[in-house]
A and B are shown apart, each in its own frame.
Chain A
């Protein structure tokens, strides 16, 4: 299987990119923060019905498009480029993936068709902890005859607002399992966080004897967590790289237009080389993400390490791109009004939300040491 996108995947990329560039343009990203009504917006039903990307990974039998991780990654990359704010990652990607990995027929039949039709959004709590590898911080599940309750707290949960359900990873003894909780359930508290990243909606979710339904058989939890971790790593990497590419594109455009000393600043070597370094980091990281996507799809032996490596590479590439582009923009990029800082904020959050690059690289190194 090639690492290159095929014709259909390239068409999907073009479709989503041109849609978002018109309906979620970078030039309007700061509208709501400048007290202006946004010039355009994107509704969830537009994504589901017009663009048909919400049910992308849902099997055809449940009303979806039978797409793979590669297709999801194509969309994620464009959403990252646009800094799209919405429950795509949580619902269209991770909720769908975890339902399918759970093998829970009842839950799949109940939710997948509704997700594909754009009628249902689902948040995923415990993702941060699973990505970090700090599963001992997950809420503790207590069960009696198949009735479960959860106690604890999960941080940095994305897109809780408007979600009909929250899927949450919980500790069951020494294991992990995935649970489903309805919005408004007893003991469930949501605390929206004022986050540095203005393009992600984050909340701390508290659980106090909250009733929960286990998804899938008790021994599937580990497999679900593993699948979600790998999938999220690839998709977050894709979002990061899309955002990084937009930073580079903006910087290059500016460097060609902005003149000082009688010529475009992009003709000076220091600017040129800085842009070259951005492209270098981006292309290498993007290749790592493509490789990881394929490895995870094929359940290759190195799927997990490839996914973690891709996430680390793309997270670092975004950080470099956002800070470097900021330098190319000079003073104008430092203003509140210019969308540059939104990319920087996304880069900072991305550095910590899904496990850090150094921690993931260390995990990959340790596995390699163990295998040597």
Chain B
């Protein structure tokens, strides 16, 4: 990425080697990636791995050292993310994306000193595991139309409502909840707040949500008189929408670096599958493989541009919609191609599905079987819906990147 000889580049190269050594030292020589770890060993591995990262200062790399992080520069953060991805190990526990990345970064920006000192160490130690309560059955694309509400009862907020699609709520101790705390204000986006709530209480019920893949990584969360303290608000009361949008923006920097690596690995597996099954000379399969490869390389190049901008200090804003559109549609086309390579074996898939999180890309070391590809195909159907549906993303691109006028709505 940088030319050799420049002192900063050499330091970064040394840093990269140091990180890789820390990672590899803890792994068996036969290590292929977390995608190869059997389902019943995933949880144990992940807990041990998280402890290893923490012990070597590779957890919460984006937090300042004063709050228990490693205070790494953006360039160093990218290196850690890249090396973890290449080696095929997680960058944290299952709830850490929500706790460390999203909530942690948002606390650093909007939190009170008390909140920072209480919550950040607890998130880091794993004592608190967080999940995100945003979407509702009637508020998906139209998130601001949410109806979960909270009213002040003395020193506590009392929360009524329901959240859905809450990842890993079944493993979490806490949930940050976007809810309506007042109904004044001209727009429905006004009057929202993010409350910080402990799950283990009578007023909260977590119910697993099984998807068409057969897995239940998502949940519904029901709030019936649930409570949290008056000061357990992230940012100001009524500032919830702004805080939520900031929070959602926090993953973008590194994803630009790591997703292209993972999708390229997916392509290589797909190509190997085609070769194994003798399909590389089939004109239709071959043309689609060539197109898939071209696109995965384009995604890598666009990811590099995004990274170059981010490292120069630019905020990654609406451009992230372009990335999401590209990879979500890519994985759908790639998994569809996998089915066509597999033919009738798609009807009776052999072997296990994808292991580990495998979201959105499969994990390193995933087996190259009909079982994993059919599973991946099913999971990929959600890719154009979650993280902002592709219809919404196209609206964002058109309105915020091209300046095209918004259409008339009946709710503004």
Interface of A toward B, CB cutoff 8 Å: 1-4, 248, 252, 255-256, 263-264, 266-269, 271-273, 275-277, 279-280, 283-285, 287-288, 290-291, 306, 309, 312-313, 358, 361-362, 364-365, 368-369, 372
B26 to chain A, nearest CB (A): 29
A328 to chain B, nearest CB (A): 11
B70 to chain A, nearest CB (A): 25
Q: What chain B residues lie within 8 Å of A285 (beta carbons)?
A: 298
Which residue on chain A has the smallest CB distance to residue B307?
A3
Residue B51 CB within 8 A of the other chain: no
Question: What would 24 A/B residue contacts be, using CB atoms closer than 8 Å?
Answer: A4-B309, A256-B404, A256-B405, A267-B408, A269-B395, A272-B398, A273-B394, A273-B395, A276-B394, A276-B398, A276-B401, A276-B402, A280-B322, A280-B325, A285-B298, A287-B301, A288-B297, A291-B300, A312-B294, A358-B287, A362-B290, A365-B290, A369-B275, A372-B271
B354 to chain A, nearest CB (A): 22
How far, in angstroms, from A361 to B267 measured CA to CA in the complex? 14
A354 to chain B, nearest CB (A): 16
Contact indicator A3/B293 (Cβ below 8 Å): no
Residue B343 CB within 8 A of the other chain: no
Residue B305 CB within 8 A of the other chain: yes
Which residue on chain A has the smallest CB distance to residue B407?
A267
B406 to chain A, nearest CB (A): 7
Which residues of B (269-311) have their CB < 8 Å from a CB of A? 271-272, 275, 280, 286-287, 289-291, 293-295, 297-302, 304-305, 308-309
User: 18 more A-B contacts (CB under 8 A) besides A291-B304, A309-B298?
Assistant: A3-B305, A3-B308, A252-B402, A252-B403, A267-B406, A275-B404, A276-B325, A276-B402, A277-B394, A279-B401, A283-B322, A287-B302, A290-B305, A291-B301, A306-B297, A361-B291, A362-B286, A369-B275
Residue B2 CB within 8 A of the other chain: yes
How far, in angstroms, from A151 to B404 measured CA to CA in the complex? 56
Give the A-B contact count at a CB cut-off of 8 A: 126
How far, in angstroms, from A313 to B291 measured CA to CA in the complex? 10
How far, in angstroms, from A263 to B407 measured CA to CA in the complex? 9
Q: Which of A248, A283, A372 contacts B268, CB < 8 Å?
A: A372
Is the contact region of chain A dominated by helix, strand, or loop, or is it mixed?
A: helix
How far, in angstroms, from A269 to B325 measured CA to CA in the complex? 16
A277 to chain B, nearest CB (A): 7
How far, in angstroms, from A271 to B399 measured CA to CA in the complex? 11
Q: What chain A residues lie within 8 Å of B407 (beta carbons)?
A: 263, 267-269, 272
Residue B30 CB within 8 A of the other chain: no
Q: What chain B residues lie within 8 Å of A287 (beta carbons)?
A: 298, 301-302, 304-305
Closest 3 CB pairs of A and B: A272-B398, A287-B301, A361-B290
Q: What chain B residues lie within 8 Å of A312 (beta carbons)?
A: 294
Q: What chain A residues lie within 8 Å of B272 (beta carbons)?
A: 372
Q: What chain B residues lie within 8 Å of A275 (beta carbons)?
A: 398, 402, 404
A368 to chain B, nearest CB (A): 6
Which residue on chain A has the smallest CB distance to residue B289?
A365
Contact indicator B398/A280 (Cβ below 8 Å): no
Contact indicator A369/B309 (Cβ below 8 Å): no
Contact indicator A3/B304 (Cβ below 8 Å): yes
Q: What chain B residues lie within 8 Å of A313 (beta carbons)?
A: 294, 298
Contact indicator A266/B404 (Cβ below 8 Å): yes
Contact indicator B397/A276 (Cβ below 8 Å): yes
Contact indicator A272/B395 (Cβ below 8 Å): yes
How far, in angstroms, from A256 to B405 measured CA to CA in the complex? 7
Q: What chain B residues lie within 8 Å of A368 (beta carbons)?
A: 271, 293
Which residue on chain B has the smallest CB distance to residue A268?
B407
Q: A365-B286, A365-B293, A369-B271 are in contact. Are A3 and B301 (CB under 8 A)?
A: yes
Residue B411 CB within 8 A of the other chain: no
Interface flags, B302-340, vs A, CB<8A=1, else 0? 101100110010000001001001100000000000000
Residue B3 CB within 8 A of the other chain: yes
Q: What chain A residues lie within 8 Å of B406 (beta carbons)?
A: 267
Q: What chain A residues lie within 8 Å of B297 (beta carbons)?
A: 288, 306, 309
Q: What chain A residues lie within 8 Å of B299 (beta carbons)?
A: 284
Q: What chain A residues lie within 8 Å of B404 (beta carbons)?
A: 252, 255-256, 264, 266-267, 271-272, 275
Which residue on chain B has the smallest CB distance to residue A361?
B290
Which residue on chain B has the smallest CB distance to residue A4?
B308
Which residues of B (357-403) have their CB < 8 Å from a CB of A? 391, 393-395, 397-399, 401-403
How far, in angstroms, from A369 to B272 measured CA to CA in the complex? 9
Contact indicator B275/A372 (Cβ below 8 Å): yes
How far, in angstroms, from A146 to B127 measured CA to CA in the complex? 82
Q: What chain A residues lie within 8 Å of B408 (beta carbons)?
A: 263, 267
How far, in angstroms, from A340 to B245 measured CA to CA in the complex? 39
Which residue on chain B has the smallest CB distance to residue A362?
B290
How far, in angstroms, from A268 to B299 measured CA to CA in the complex? 28
Contact indicator B2/A1 (Cβ below 8 Å): yes
Contact indicator B312/A283 (Cβ below 8 Å): no
A314 to chain B, nearest CB (A): 10
Q: What chain A residues lie within 8 Å of B322 (beta carbons)?
A: 279-280, 283-284
B117 to chain A, nearest CB (A): 38
Which residue on chain B has the smallest CB distance to residue A249?
B402
Q: Which of B268, B286, B289, B298 contacts A288, CB < 8 Å?
A: B298
Contact indicator B280/A369 (Cβ below 8 Å): yes
A74 to chain B, nearest CB (A): 15
Which residue on chain A has the smallest CB distance to residue B2?
A1
How far, in angstroms, from A263 to B403 measured CA to CA in the complex? 15
How far, in angstroms, from A137 to B62 measured CA to CA in the complex? 58
How far, in angstroms, from A269 to B286 measured CA to CA in the complex? 34
How far, in angstroms, from A368 to B294 measured CA to CA in the complex? 11
Contact indicator B405/A264 (Cβ below 8 Å): yes
How far, in angstroms, from A275 to B398 measured CA to CA in the complex? 7
How far, in angstroms, from A309 to B296 measured CA to CA in the complex? 11
Q: What chain B residues lie within 8 Å of A290 (beta carbons)?
A: 301, 305
Q: What chain B residues lie within 8 Å of A365 (beta carbons)?
A: 286, 289-290, 293
B271 to chain A, nearest CB (A): 7
Q: Which of B308, B401, B402, B403 contacts A2, CB < 8 Å?
A: B308
A264 to chain B, nearest CB (A): 5
How far, in angstroms, from A3 to B306 measured CA to CA in the complex? 9
Most chain A CB within a 10 A radius of its CB, from B268, B399, B407: B407
Q: What chain A residues lie within 8 Å of B402 (beta carbons)?
A: 248, 252, 275-276, 279
How far, in angstroms, from A309 to B294 measured CA to CA in the complex? 6
Q: What chain B residues lie within 8 Å of A273 (beta carbons)?
A: 391, 394-395, 398
Contact indicator B302/A283 (Cβ below 8 Å): yes
Contact indicator A266/B294 (Cβ below 8 Å): no
How far, in angstroms, from A263 to B401 measured CA to CA in the complex? 20
Q: What chain B residues lie within 8 Å of A3 (beta carbons)?
A: 301, 304-305, 308
Which residues of B (231-267) have their CB < 8 Å from a CB of A? none
How far, in angstroms, from A312 to B297 measured CA to CA in the complex? 12
Q: What chain B residues lie within 8 Å of A291 (beta carbons)?
A: 300-301, 304
Interface flags, B1-20, vs A, CB<8A=1, else 0? 01100000000000000000
How far, in angstroms, from A267 to B312 measured CA to CA in the complex? 34
